[in-house]
């Protein structure tokens, strides 16, 4: 659910934090107080466009933050998307969305304090919140969503049938891809075989060894710098050993060290304290002897003949050429060869493989057709049940003459196009006037009719629609009397399985709500400020009274009417709950 919404520098709002509770949250207040700004801010947070004109005058940037808490069930559905976009889900189910927009039209999107793209923010937002306004093209108006909603409404039996079909379809598509590669133009297949044979021969003939390129590059570096290395080593030997071959030549460091040892040895007869010093000097002489041996041995490593130099250069040229063709490392080159060899084996045995795959494809088409027919039958059953539920809900809201149905078309051609939903396409259809044929839901023109149709559908599809937060922005416009009480009841029913946030001017909806949030506007000498207050029971009574007769301080008959309406709507909620 949406725990809190913080809005900074948006329209007339300088800073506002609103807390929402579970169940049904009703936002009320005078026209122009800022209710629509709050809904627009949520839409902006979810990825919709925000113009620079929406930034509060005098401010540089508008910022919106929404804090959501997911239930365990919601986390199971949404966490995989978080992981997919590179965000580690929080153990407590917290998801924080942030979006900003500055005067240059640029902004920042964040999920759990990690910068993301606008499309990523929008993708996650669609899983968290569905906004319904009187003129919005929201999810129920998109025919592409209808078959998914119908399937969810149908329940676990259809889900199991769909799983069986999906497994068959996955195998069918894998086989299809393999057939495309081994079938087709024989000339192209022969050319591909020749190419793969050349590639595998070239790589395997090279007999590459792991780490060989690194070793050769190090050897090449020594070969290229052999002259400088030899001079350096010779200079080092001379510095240690002097001009002669023996270690003790007086012109070198080793001879000087021997002299120092002799001098300190003579001093030993005067004091034992020189013994430790003498020991250190002898240790130095051993270390210096070892170093000299290592330096002299190093001459052998730079003693390179032309044959070895040619081999190293030629081998490196070969490895670099293979890297340009097949991968950035020896490991990648080897994997390329393995993959090419596997493809080659399949192509060489293509006739036998194609025959086997074609036989299996024919069998899979029969199995998929059978599974698709099973899914179609279950969808037809669910569509009738959904039709009854929605038409009953519409009758409660004074739309008893409306006809709702699901147009379910099955592709029964000899060679049908198998899709992810089987062979069915589904679209919700509506007729609002007697004698009219049902038309696609998306073509309904009347805002008032569309509002009630949407609410009726939401009340029936509440369990099927798994989006946790539903927002209704004044979709009760043009509704009054008994229909208003019915609409309030439908809101309450939906709020049993979702968090509902609605903007309303109906006293019945305010009366039945779990949380009442009053939006007000305060004027100062040089400012306008929007405030939000979560009402207590007394505040709820006053606000219901204001919605009934426009008097926020109503007493007497209006107050009694408010108390009675709240009690009556709570009784209705208890019955429908």
Average pLDDT of the residues in 447-463: 71
The CA distance from 159 to 385, in Å, is: 17
What pLDDT score was predicted for residue 554?
Answer: 58
pLDDT digits (tens, 9 = 90+) for 474-518: 776 667 777 788 888 888 888 888 999 999 888 999 999 999 999
What pLDDT score was predicted for residue 34?
Answer: 87
Inter-residue contact 372 to 407 (CB < 8 Å): no
* Start-to-end CA span in the chain (Å): 19
What pLDDT score was predicted for residue 445?
Answer: 47
What's the per-residue H, E or C state across 82-145? HHHCCCCCCCCCEEEEEEEEECCCCCCEEECCEEECHHHHHHHHHHHEEEEECCCCCHHHCHHH
- For residue 413, the 8-state DSSP code is S
With residue 430 as reference, give the H or E element that holds it.
Answer: strand 424-431
3-state helix, strand, coil in the chain (%, to 5): 55, 15, 25
Average confidence score pLDDT of the chain: 85
Q: Name the band, by pLDDT with cuts 50, 70 and 90, for residue 250.
A: low
What pLDDT score was predicted for residue 202?
Answer: 92
Residue 89 reports pLDDT greater than 80: yes
The CA distance from 272 to 258, in Å, is: 20
What pLDDT score was predicted for residue 378?
Answer: 97
195 vs 399 pLDDT, higher one: 195
Q: Name the band, by pLDDT with cuts 50, 70 and 90, for residue 238.
A: confident
The interaxial angle of helices 212-224 and 226-241, nearest 10 deg, is 70
39 vs 487 pLDDT, higher one: 39
Backbone angles phi, psi at 486, to 5 degrees: -65, -40
Q: Nearest-CA neighbor of 452 among 1, 144, 140?
A: 140
Cα separations in angstroms, 438 against 2, 434, 443: 37, 10, 10
What pLDDT score was predicted for residue 133?
Answer: 66
What pLDDT score was predicted for residue 448?
Answer: 59
Q: Is the dihedral of CA 557, 562, 563, 564 positive or negative?
A: positive
Residue 399 reports pLDDT greater than 60: yes
479 vs 215 pLDDT, higher one: 215
What pLDDT score was predicted for residue 137?
Answer: 41
Residue 181 reports pLDDT greater than 80: no
Task: Provide the 3-class DSSP secondary structure of residue 471.
Answer: strand
Q: Nearest-CA neighbor of 165 among 358, 467, 379, 359?
A: 379
The CA distance from 286 to 292, in Å, is: 10
Q: Tokens 């559905």 identify what position?
A: 77
pLDDT digits (tens, 9 = 90+) for 514-560: 999 999 988 877 778 889 999 999 999 999 999 888 765 556 788 88
Residues near 33 by beta carbon (within 8 Å), at least 6 away in sequence: 519, 520, 521, 530
Average pLDDT of the residues in 215-225: 81
pLDDT digits (tens, 9 = 90+) for 104-152: 888 999 999 999 999 999 999 989 998 876 544 456 677 888 898 899 8
Q: Tokens 């208003």 identify what position?
A: 484
What pLDDT score was predicted for residue 460?
Answer: 80
Q: Nearest-CA neighbor of 450 among 433, 470, 475?
A: 475
The CA distance from 459 to 465, in Å, is: 10
Q: Name the band, by pLDDT with cuts 50, 70 and 90, for residue 38.
A: very high
Partners of residue 14 on adjacent β-strands: none
Cα separations in angstroms, 248 against 235, 252, 284, 488: 17, 8, 14, 107
pLDDT digits (tens, 9 = 90+) for 144-178: 888 988 998 898 899 999 999 999 999 999 998 88
Listing DSSP states for 507-551 in one string gives HHHHHH-SEEEEEEEEE-SS-EEEEEEE--HHHHHHHHHHHHHS-
The CA distance from 470 to 24, in Å, is: 10
The CA distance from 107 to 267, in Å, is: 82
Average pLDDT of the residues in 383-398: 88
Cβ neighbours around 107 below 10 Å, total: 17
Backbone angles phi, psi at 21, to 5 degrees: -115, 175
Average pLDDT of the residues in 242-259: 67
What pLDDT score was predicted for residue 552?
Answer: 54
- Rounded-to-10 torsion of CA 447, 453, 455, 458: -130
Number of alpha helices (DSSP H) and beta strands (DSSP E) in the chain:
18, 15
- What domains does the chain contain, in order, with CATH numbers? 2-134+432-576 (3.40.50.300), 160-377 (no CATH)
The CA distance from 319 to 205, in Å, is: 12
pTM of the predicted structure, to 2 decimals: 0.60
Average pLDDT of the residues in 262-290: 83
């Amino acid at each position: 659910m949406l725990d809190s919404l913080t809005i900074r520098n948006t329209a007339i709002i300088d800073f506002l934090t609103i807390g929402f509770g579970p169940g049904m949250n009703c936002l009320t207040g005078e026209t122009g107080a800022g209710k629509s700004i709050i809904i627009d801010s949520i839409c902006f947070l979810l990825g919709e466009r925000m113009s620079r004109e929406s930034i509060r005058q005098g401010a540089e940037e508008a910022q919106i933050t929404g804090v959501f808490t997911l239930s365990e069930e919601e986390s199971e559905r949404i966490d995989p998307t978080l992981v997919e976009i590179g965000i580690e889900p929080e153990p407590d189910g917290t998801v924080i969305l942030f979006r900003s927009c500055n005067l240059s039209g640029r902004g920042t999107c964040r999920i759990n304090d990690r910068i993301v793209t606008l499309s990523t923010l929008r993708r996650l937002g669609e899983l968290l919140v569905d906004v319904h306004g009187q003129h919005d093209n929201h999810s129920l108006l998109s025919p592409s969503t209808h078959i998914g909603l119908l399937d969810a409404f149908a329940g676990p039996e259809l889900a199991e049938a769909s799983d069986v079909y999906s497994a068959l379809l996955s195998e069918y598509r894998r086989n299809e891809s393999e057939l495309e590669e081994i079938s087709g133009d024989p000339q192209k297949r022969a050319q591909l075989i020749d190419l793969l044979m050349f590639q595998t021969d070239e790589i395997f003939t090279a007999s590459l060894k792991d780490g060989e390129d690194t070793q050769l590059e190090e050897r090449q570096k020594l070969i290229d710098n052999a002259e400088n290395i030899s001079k350096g080593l010779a200079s080092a030997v001379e510095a240690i050993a002097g001009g002669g071959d023996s270690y003790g030549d007086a012109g070198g460091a080793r001879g000087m060290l021997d002299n120092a040892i002799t001098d300190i040895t003579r001093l030993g007869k005067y004091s034992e304290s020189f013994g430790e010093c003498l020991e250190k000097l002898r240790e130095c002489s051993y270390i210096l002897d070892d170093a000299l041996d290592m330096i002299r041995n190093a001459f052998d490593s730079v003693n390179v003949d032309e044959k070895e130099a040619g081999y190293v250069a030629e081998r490196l040229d070969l490895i670099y050429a293979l890297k340009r063709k097949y991968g950035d490392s020896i490991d990648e080159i080897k994997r390329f060869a393995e993959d090419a060899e596997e493809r080659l084996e399949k192509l060489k045995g293509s006739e036998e493989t194609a025959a086997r795959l074609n036989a299996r494809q024919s069998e899979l088409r029969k199995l998929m057709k059978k599974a698709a027919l099973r899914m179609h039958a279950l969808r037809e059953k669910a569509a009738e049940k959904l039709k009854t539920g929605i038409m009953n809900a519409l009758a409660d809201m004074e739309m008893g003459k409306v006809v709702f149905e699901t147009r379910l078309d099955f592709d029964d051609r000899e060679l049908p196009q198998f899709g992810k939903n089987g062979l069915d396409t589904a679209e919700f259809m509506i007729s609002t006037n007697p004698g009219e044929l049902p038309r696609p839901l998306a073509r309904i023109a009347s805002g008032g009719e569309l509002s009630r149709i949407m609410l009726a559908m939401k009340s029936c599809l509440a369990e099927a629609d798994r989006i946790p937060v539903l927002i209704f922005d004044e979709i009760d416009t043009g509704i009054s009397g008994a229909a208003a009480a019915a609409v309030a009841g439908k809101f309450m029913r939906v709020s049993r399985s979702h968090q509902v946030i609605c903007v309303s001017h109906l006293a019945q909806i305010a009366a039945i709500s779990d949380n009442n949030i009053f939006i007000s506007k305060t004027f100062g000498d040089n400012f306008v400020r929007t405030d939000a207050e979560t009402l207590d029971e007394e505040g709820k009574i006053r606000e219901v009274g204001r919605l009934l007769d426009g008097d926020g301080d109503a007493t007497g008959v209006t107050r009694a009417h408010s108390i009675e309406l709240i009690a009556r709507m709570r009784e209705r909620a208890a019955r429908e709950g």
